[in-house]
């Protein structure tokens, strides 16, 4: 199965993704309008070039632009909500929830926040 990763440039990502196809996203993303626009343009270019059948994300600000472009281009999306937010939804989770074909949560308590979420259990 062919895959392309989109993530932030850092020593951990570089070491874990050796030999993989990687596109570096713009950071920081937390409430950074300029990088939101840059990542939206990046998402448009990457999805148009790669033509994925599925976009999967575990969160972070770069997920929203990719989910938005994926939805526009008819690409299916799967979102995995983080395991450490049980009381309140994450900003990215709230933004990606309506754009997700499948929204996965790791705790039963998170279904209260995301009624269409499917519990998969903790990944770690």
Which tens digit of pLDDT belongs to each residue from 64-102? Answer: 999 999 999 999 999 999 988 899 999 999 999 999 999
- Residue 30 pLDDT exceeds 90: no
- Residue 11 pLDDT exceeds 80: yes
* Percent helix, percent strand, percent coil in the chain, to nearest 5: 40, 20, 40
Predicted pLDDT of residue 61? 83
Average pLDDT over residues 23-46: 94
Q: How high does pLDDT run on average in the chain?
A: 95
> Residue 72, Cβ neighbours under 10 Å: how many?
12
Predicted pLDDT of residue 124? 77
| Predicted TM-score (pTM) of this structure | 0.93
Q: Domain spanning 4-119: which superfamily?
A: Glycogen Phosphorylase B; (3.40.50.2000)
DSSP assignment of 74-111: T-EEEEE--TT-SSS--HHHHHHGGG-SEEEESSGGGG
Is the separation of the CB atoms in 66 and 47 below 8 Å? yes
Average pLDDT over residues 52-73: 94
Predicted pLDDT of residue 1? 74
Domain boundaries, the chain: 4-119
Q: How far apart are CA 12 and CA 8, in angstroms?
A: 10
Predicted pLDDT of residue 29? 87
């Amino acid at each position: 199965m062919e895959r392309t990763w989109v993530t932030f440039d850092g020593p951990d990502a570089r070491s874990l993704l050796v030999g993989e196809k990687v596109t570096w996203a713009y950071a920081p993303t937390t409430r950074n309008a300029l990088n939101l626009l840059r990542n939206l343009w990046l998402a448009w270019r990457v999805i148009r070039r790669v033509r994925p059948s599925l976009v999967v994300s575990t969160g972070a600000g770069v997920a929203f632009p990719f989910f938005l472009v994926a939805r526009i281009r008819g690409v299916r999306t799967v979102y995995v909500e983080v395991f450490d937010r049980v009381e309140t939804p994450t900003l990215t989770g709230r933004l990606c929830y309506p754009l997700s074909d499948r929204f996965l949560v790791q705790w039963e308590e998170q279904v209260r926040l995301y009624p269409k979420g499917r519990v998969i259990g903790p990944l770690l």
